[in-house]
Amino acid sequence: MTYRGAVILGVGASLPGRVVTNDDLAARLDTSDEWIRSRTGIGSRRWVEPGTSTSDLAVDAGARALRSAGTSTADAVIVATTTPDRSCPAIAPDVAARLGMIGVPAHDVAAVCTGFLYGLANAVGLIASGAARTVLLIAAETFSTILDPDDRGTAVIFGDGAGAVVVGEGEGAIGPCVLGSDGTGADLIQVPAGERYFRMSGKEVFRAAVDRMSDVALDALARAGLGPDDVDHLAPHQANRRICDAVARRLGLAESKVLADLDAVGNTAAASIPVLLADAAATGRIEAGDRVLAVAFGGGLTWGATTLVWPDVTADFGVLGEG
Ligand code: UT7
């Protein structure tokens, strides 16, 4: 079998139009703009209106990534999500069909906040095995639909959004994807069986996130034959600004190399990294040829990292329904 490498051919992201500020939340919860900003780095987030689904965001982000890649189709579709429109079936076939791709292989990936990187490893694997020459990978979430409105420990953190990439054959641009899991921590981030709302043990998760993200980022660099000095930008899962900064410190990376957008979008779970990359590319913070180290941690527990050489593409970043 001939193994093929993979590159990113297009990047897109879609956010819901409704902005929810910290003050909006403080009006009904025992919290404050000062607490949320200083403890998390989040200033506002975007939540869908009732009636807008994860699939709606996924379709818009997917269409934008395809447009960015200068194509209208792909050989396979993967959707990474924790908040599918329904628990069965997967939403990827529906998303693919709505994008005009009937007949292609399509499946969901469930790895919570590590979903995009698990999906990327899946996409690279489909290409390496010859099963597909191009893959549309979308990470889409509507965490607002599973947040307990009275739980200040989670309601202030999560936002909705979707990001997508088109992955295709090509050498050297997507480095080795290093992934891991530890199911003994499954209860730390969960929707308990039979319940409606998401629960998180914030403190324990915080500590595990810093440890696992630092270790797996170093593994991904080593597997790519790189060191921290080769990294132009750290693209960490936007869980908490303090987690991102702690990981950067452990890797010896200057704060100026840490990409961040959680001030405006919060933690969008699986969508976090592709939304961040699309935003950073669209605003010129990352440029073609830059070396990006992407790293995530989330429920499962799961974690992952990879290195990317940023492609020469125009990212398509926008708001759902606004073209
Ligand atoms: O995306 C998947 C991975 N997720 C993460 O990585 C999230 C990781 N965890 C975190 O980001 C942080 O743990 C949180 C932001 C969730 C919480 O921040 P913290 O600094 O760990 O706060 P804490 O849980 O230790 O709570 C400190 C205090 C507590 O009050 P007492 O017990 O000291 O009186 C909390 O009740 O802050 C209180 N608190 C709040 N106060 C105002 C917790 N949430 C809030 C809030 N507003 N929203």
pLDDT in tens, 153-171: 999 999 999 999 999 998 8
Q: What pLDDT score was predicted for residue 122? A: 98
Beta-carbon contacts of residue 24 (< 8 Å; ≥ 6 apart) = none
Cβ(206) – ligand 1 distance below 6 Å: yes
User: Is pLDDT above 80 for 172?
Assistant: no
- CA–centroid distance, residue 258 to ligand 1 (Å): 22
Nearest CA, atom 14, ligand 1? 202
Band (3; pLDDT cuts 50, 70, 90): low
Sign of the alpha-carbon torsion through 313, 276, 303, 148: negative
316 in a domain, yes or no?
Answer: no
Cis status, amide bond into 89, omega within 30 of 0: yes
Cβ(209) – ligand 1 distance below 6 Å: yes
For residue 277, which phi and psi values (nearest 5 degrees)? Answer: -65, -40
Which of these three, 169, 196, 214, is where a domain ends?
169
Cβ(298) – ligand 1 distance below 6 Å: yes
Nearest CA, atom 36, ligand 1? 153
Residues 15 and 138 in one domain: yes
Q: Which atom of ligand 1 is nearest to the CA of 25?
A: 48
Q: Which atom of ligand 1 is nearest to the CA of 205?
A: 8
Q: What pLDDT score was predicted for residue 254? A: 96
Cβ(197) – ligand 1 distance below 6 Å: no
For residue 317, which phi and psi values (nearest 5 degrees)? Answer: -115, 125
| Averaged pLDDT score across all residues of the chain | 96
Residues 203 and 298 in one domain: yes
User: Is pLDDT above 50 for 264?
Assistant: yes
Residues 136 and 183 in one domain: no
What pTM does this model have? 0.97
d(CA 64, CA 163): 9
Band (296; pLDDT cuts 50, 70, 90): very high
Residues 130 and 184 in one domain: no
Q: What pLDDT score was predicted for residue 4? A: 67
User: Is pLDDT above 60 for 1?
Assistant: no
Contact in structure between 252 and 217 (CB atoms under 8 Å):
no
- CA–centroid distance, residue 202 to ligand 1 (Å): 6
Residues 199 and 156 in one domain: no
d(CA 114, CA 173): 20
Residue 178's region, left for phi above 0, alpha for psi from -120 to 50, else beta, is beta
Cβ(268) – ligand 1 distance below 6 Å: no
Residue type, 37: R
- Mutation test residue for ligand 1: of 31, 203, 238, the one with most atoms within 8 Å of CB: 203
1 in a domain, yes or no?
Answer: no
DSSP 52: -
Domain of residue 68, residue span: 6-169
Residues 210 and 240 in one domain: yes
Residue 69's region, left for phi above 0, alpha for psi from -120 to 50, else beta, is alpha
Residues involved in catalysis: 113, 237, 267
Cβ(39) – ligand 1 distance below 6 Å: yes
User: Is pLDDT above 80 for 35?
Assistant: yes
Contact in structure between 283 and 177 (CB atoms under 8 Å):
no
Nearest CA, atom 5, ligand 1? 239
317 in a domain, yes or no?
Answer: no
Q: Which atom of ligand 1 is nearest to the CA of 242?
A: 11
Residues 88 and 206 in one domain: no
Cβ neighbours, 10 Å, residue 36: 24
Q: What pLDDT score was predicted for residue 2? A: 47
Nearest CA, atom 41, ligand 1? 31
- CA–centroid distance, residue 193 to ligand 1 (Å): 24
134-142 and 106-109 strand pairing: unpaired
Of 280, 197, 278, 206, nearest to 239 by C-alpha is: 206
DSSP 201: -
User: Is pLDDT above 70 for 228?
Assistant: yes
39 in a domain, yes or no?
Answer: yes
Cβ(205) – ligand 1 distance below 6 Å: yes
Average pLDDT over every residue of 37-63: 98
233-236 and 291-298 strand pairing: parallel
Band (5; pLDDT cuts 50, 70, 90): confident
Average pLDDT over every residue of 221-249: 97
Q: What pLDDT score was predicted for residue 43? A: 98
Residues 165 and 185 in one domain: no
Residues 98 and 149 in one domain: yes
Q: What pLDDT score was predicted for residue 288? A: 95
Q: Give the distance from CA 142 to its chain's centroid.
A: 12
Place of tokens 């050498």: 171
320 in a domain, yes or no?
Answer: no
Average pLDDT over every residue of 97-117: 98
Q: Which atom of ligand 1 is nearest to the CA of 237?
A: 1
Q: What pLDDT score was predicted for residue 171? A: 80
Count of structural domains, the chain: 2
CA dist 312 → 173, 176, 177, 200, 231 (Å): 11, 20, 21, 38, 18
Residues 74 and 196 in one domain: no
Average pLDDT over every residue of 211-220: 98
Residues 53 and 147 in one domain: yes
Average pLDDT over every residue of 305-323: 95
d(CA 33, CA 152): 12
User: Is pLDDT above 60 for 146?
Assistant: yes
User: Is pLDDT above 90 for 127?
Assistant: yes
Which of these three, 152, 169, 186, is where a domain ends?
169
Tokens at 92, concatenated:
């990827």
d(CA 154, CA 151): 6
